[in-house]
Amino acid sequence: NAGVMQNPRHLVRRRGQEARLRCSPMKGHSHVYWYRQLPEEGLKFMVYLQKENIIDESGMPKERFSAEFPKEGPSILRIQQVVRGDSAAYFCASSLTSGRAANEQFFGPGTRLTVL
Amino acid sequence: AQSVTQPDIHITVSEGASLELRCNYSYGATPYLFWYVQSPGQGLQLLLKYFSGDTLVQGIKGFEAEFKRSQSSFNLRKPSVHWSDAAEYFCAVGAQAGTALIFGKGTTLSVSS
């Protein structure tokens, strides 16, 4: 029973390039959350998605960042025209659809983005 | 405003000694509380969670936590620390399903021999 999968684990981009981060939730999970962890900081919520819908994007920067969770395939977090301040670890989490257990989020290993 | 405070940035404990990591929260709704552990370069692993009921909850790896509503606290404890417990520990609070977790800034635990 595979856990949450994220790839790539490490990503290096130059300023101005695009970064695409992928997340496959646990089997049976249809809720996906993206968090960002800056150095010496806790995780900060970015966006919450269900299949084909963005439910809450209150933590997403207004520009350059977008997320999707298509009907088929992984969830994608896309950062356009990256800047050095985007360097961070990006974590994806997934949860069940309903019930009390849906409060529990399972985390992937993260993608560590470095912007040169 | 909703927030989680972990007052201790870094704690060092001798192997075999007891451990308590502090967590205080501010949350308007009935909170769901979590402790996660993160080893260097790794993702987060859930240690334990509190939704309701018994305020003392048991988790994996010998950890436990106690929910104290009057103090808005959810401190993590372990009676005897092992060297492999060295990691970063995060307290988090959430609400019903489909809401974001709010994390504290974490406490780094070092274990000395």
* CB contact A27 to B (< 8 Å): no
- A vs B, Cβ pairs < 8 A, gives 69
Going residue by residue through chain A, which has 116 residues, state the pLDDT in tens, using 9 for 90 and above: 578 999 999 999 999 999 999 999 998 888 999 999 988 778 999 999 998 999 999 999 999 999 999 999 999 999 999 999 999 999 999 988 666 565 788 999 999 999 99
Token pair 């780094």: residue: B108
Report DSSP letters for A21-60, one per residue: EEEEPPTT--EEEEEEE-TT--EEEEEEEETTEEEE-TTS
**Residues of A with Cβ-Cβ distance to B104 under 8 angstroms:** 42
Q: How many residues does chain B have?
A: 113
Measure A7 CA to nearest chain B CA, in Å: 13
Q: Alpha helices, DSSP H only, in B1-113?
A: none
Question: Cβ of A41 and B105 within 8 Å?
Answer: yes
Average pLDDT (B24-40) is 88
pLDDT of residue A4: 93
What pLDDT digit, counting tens, does each position of B55-94 carry? 899 999 999 999 999 999 999 999 999 999 999 999 999 8
Identity of the residue in A4, A41, A102 whose CB atom sits nearest the CB atom of B97: A102
pLDDT digits (tens, 9 = 90+) for B51-61: 888 889 999 99
Cis peptide before A8 (omega within 30 of 0): yes
As a whole number of angstroms, the distance between CA B63 and CA B20 comes to 10
Q: Which residue has the tokens 């977790």?
A: B101
Distance to chain A for B22, nearest Cα, Å:
15
Whether B83 contacts B65, CB under 8 Å: no
Residues in chain A with CB shorter than 8 Å from the CB of B93 are none
Between B46, B100, B106, which is nearest A104 by CB? B46
CA B97 to chain centre: 20
- The beta-carbon contacts of A52-61 under 8 Å, at least 24 apart in sequence, are A55/B98, A56/B98, A56/B99, A56/B100, A58/B100, A59/B100
Cross-chain CB nearest to A109 (options B43, B102, B106) = B43
Which positions in chain A touch B95 (Cβ < 8 Å)? 103
CB nearest to A104's CB, from B49, B102, B103: B49
